Structure 1
């Protein structure tokens, strides 16, 4: 990463690396500020291989801080500003970070967990230091100021940078924790480069492109498939503070963005917005991401005039399958990217037949093209990479055209009346209802010894829909074996910081007293 940034700063320093609400940041300016910030961090005692936490929203200082950490051979630990206190303490302690970068408005979150932190020493604060400093605050506070050491400006020419190789760690990316405590996936510089290379080859990204990043920078989709493709190709990133359906297309056209890394929920929200005559009049040419909900791809492409690429991957494995075929109208996630291999296995790790569903396992030809294990967790590392394949925890199959299809998470299968039913497939059916915004299907204990199907629904604003009406709609739209017994209309769903539904919390919560029960129609009593 530091070598790529230095190369572009030297060869095309006036070209914009970053566009945001404050204007542009050139490659030369980004390199200068990154090296200068690295010098300031080194003065705090940060050494090669040390981990530095960055807890910032989408803003240019996140990128400068990330690159600054990399310039001195240290390791970035991205942290969501929206973390719960428990998760924040877990990540900071587990990663053993001594330095944390955050903005002043988030200091209260740190104060709340300060007593539980065992390694943190220094806090680098954006937007000014607090006055007064909270009583009993146990950490040293420093103002975010690239190139300022002991209140003395340091010239970039004074900074001696260590060599950084592809096998060196770049980031510890904590998983969403949707099924338990977050694990820290160790991502090397080589892994980050390969992720960018996949996007560049698949989407045809060049230095003339502008990549629109609206997913959170603490997430791998934004870093590895938004910022890194720009850093490798010399392209530009337009950094949005967040995804906003109302202003999205205006922002796209104002920025001239041509490439969109997305998560599936973004497409659903855009697809359900009111149609206008100028929907196709935008600058985007390619969007790629996971997943593209069934039935959305072709209508979305025709309406908005761009190509959508379905993909499959994970933080640990990178995106190993890309569907770049414009004429493929199926929901296959694509063919395997050169240099990677996918095997579908049964419960004993033996390969299954073509078309048969099993666990998706991945490995790469080249070293450092995938994650380097889980930080401080050799048992989980060994378990996930047993028999020399990374076990994704996802189920899918390969068809006779060597295309990969995603089925569901192994932990996201509902066992109902002897059938293994994909929660994902149920959810895709429900989001096709015009009044449904988001849906989360999950299993709850059944009197029959397996599970009943339950689904939590968030309706779209302005739609007056009852659970009983939705159940009636199921009679024609949802296969009988997939129809939920319980429908719960909710205001919000428990989400991880990366926007995934925490199904285990729904299971723990069980069925609310207000949920619709198909076996107990409204107005009846038990």
Structure 2
């Protein structure tokens, strides 16, 4: 096995853009697999020709430096093509959750001011009226339509293109805007440069020792940082191959991994818990997985002892700051920890620095709990069209994570809780404020509070405590259905409790701490999945 630095040094230096990093790898990897999906395999050279062609198609539509194009759908080669084609032009991909409801989809596409939208055919009825209603109507292209459909990606890849020179991209060009929930109630668009994505991929080579002959199976969605920065970025940096899976399926996970020769996969805690509890008849002992990133303490014994995966990793990163900590490749691995501060393969390249601070921003001692602040060379460029939220996120060069942690004498970090009012459910950040805003729009609701409660799968479930308007009837299932009609499925509460009134602080905010301690909440909570 080559060291992480040896892997990077196989290839000529690049300028920090996706295009030049790709070209530097393609010299050596041209005939090797780059992208595998549904039995189809594109080599590095074939993929390069396709994204160059798509870039010219998009350029003919007016896409250029600073343009933004959304991609809506389950994991597909269209995401990767769009990412590289847009980056080739100095433009930006905006991946959006295909499970967004009308309100969420409208907000993301309108806020991002997209010029065009690539979407699955099944989503056209949702996105077409939004695209037409934008201040500058956006063009549409289907990701899964046939080649004889003039509006499809397949047709675009087959049409003649102008061979005129394309713009020269820069490492500082914003290449992706990822929408992540925040405490304002509306998602925030996290901007990252091409340099950030390329460098994050190189750092992932160091974390899990990616090799050119690895095959990374991607089951996490492309509207998350993990799949783009760790998996796609890692493939780009190492010269490996990616296996695209439209969405995670517990029943077929081991079959897909074994049949495609997957060697590395990234998961979240809920997926680990689900796989550890599945019928072992689904397990394929002929799999080749050597690395699983994202395995937490609860499911680690099953992956290590029953599934035979030798290297299990856990770490910490945010959409704003990818790849901050990770447990060392060769150990030690302290159970329950987020690992130590990670590093770039090149020891001369600086990486993240971390502080644990009190409410006054003063560093606390070993094993004392405080908020994690991070400074990293691949910090986000900011929140798109939100300078105030960007300003509030930082103290000088330090990004304030909102996570309470402790650091032991060996430099290992341990997560304690979230300082922000964010619910973490199946790998997604859900703003309580957004849920409350939607539920408060119900004509029978006086006020509502969304709370995180423990899930049997790890992370959180959503409990919503609602005070109905006086004299108005309201059922728990109505609250959930109201959310289901307006929000992504991941945001629909599992638990609902109806109370005559909610407690308040002296400043008239809902006292969520009192709700968490109120026995009446537990008594009146209805489990809508029971």
**Distance of 2:168 and 2:147 partners within structure 1:** 36
Conserved 8 A contact 1:38-1:146: no
Which residue of 24, 27, 33 corresponds with 1:16?
A: 33
Which residue of 389, 407, 413 corresponds with 2:416?
A: 407
**Distance of 2:460 and 2:164 partners within structure 1:** 52
Q: CA deviation at 1:110?
A: 1.4
* TM-score w.r.t. length of structure 1: 0.76
Which residue of 221, 225, 247 corresponds with 2:226?
A: 221
**Distance of 1:311 and 1:83 partners within structure 2:** 28
Conserved 8 A contact 1:59-1:241: yes
Conserved 8 A contact 1:33-1:147: no
Q: CA deviation at 1:229?
A: 0.6
| 1:308 and 2:312 correspond | yes
The answer for unaligned runs of 5 or more in structure 2 is: 1-17, 344-350, 424-450, 468-475, 501-518
**Distance of 2:60 and 2:141 partners within structure 1:** 12
Q: CA deviation at 1:427?
A: 2.2
Match of 1:33 in 2: 50
Secondary structure (helix, strand or coil) at the match of 1:192 reads helix
CA gap of 1:340–1:283, structure 2 versus 1, over 3 A, is same
| 1:52 and 2:69 correspond | yes
Q: CA deviation at 1:383?
A: 0.4
String of CA shifts for 1:396-436, please: whole Å, max 9, x gaps.
Answer: 1111111111122213599xxxxxxxx88x626x448xxxx
Secondary structure (helix, strand or coil) at the match of 1:191 reads helix
CA gap of 1:362–1:146, structure 2 versus 1, over 3 A, is farther
| 1:427 and 2:431 correspond | no
Counterparts of 1:140-151 in structure 2, within 5 Å, are 142-145=151-154
String of CA shifts for 1:304-350, please: whole Å, max 9, x gaps.
Answer: 11121011010111120001354524110100013111111222222
Match of 2:206 in 1: 201
| 1:98 and 2:98 correspond | no
Match of 1:362 in 2: 374
**Distance of 1:520 and 1:92 partners within structure 2:** 39
**Distance of 2:485 and 2:269 partners within structure 1:** 15
The answer for unaligned runs of 5 or more in structure 1 is: 133-140, 415-422, 433-437, 447-485
Which residue of 254, 260, 264 corresponds with 1:259?
A: 264
**Distance of 1:71 and 1:519 partners within structure 2:** 57
Secondary structure (helix, strand or coil) at the match of 1:440 reads strand
**Backbone CA RMSD of aligned residues:** 3.6
**Distance of 2:203 and 2:487 partners within structure 1:** 25
**Distance of 2:96 and 2:410 partners within structure 1:** 40
Q: CA deviation at 1:294?
A: 3.8
Which is worse superposed, 351-360 or 33-42? 351-360
| 1:318 and 2:322 correspond | yes
Conserved 8 A contact 1:36-1:146: no
* TM-score w.r.t. length of structure 2: 0.75
Q: CA deviation at 1:194?
A: 2.2
Q: CA deviation at 1:68?
A: 1.1
Q: Highest relative contact order (Cα 8 Å, sep 6+), 1 or 2?
A: 2
Match of 2:19 in 1: 2
Counterparts of 1:62-211 in structure 2, within 5 Å, are 62-114=79-131, 116-128=133-145, 142-145=151-154, 153-154=160-161, 158-177=163-182, 180-211=185-216
Conserved 8 A contact 2:217-2:244: yes
Conserved 8 A contact 1:440-1:501: no
Q: CA deviation at 1:187?
A: 0.5
Which residue of 301, 322, 328 corresponds with 1:298?
A: 301
The number of equivalent residue pairs is 444
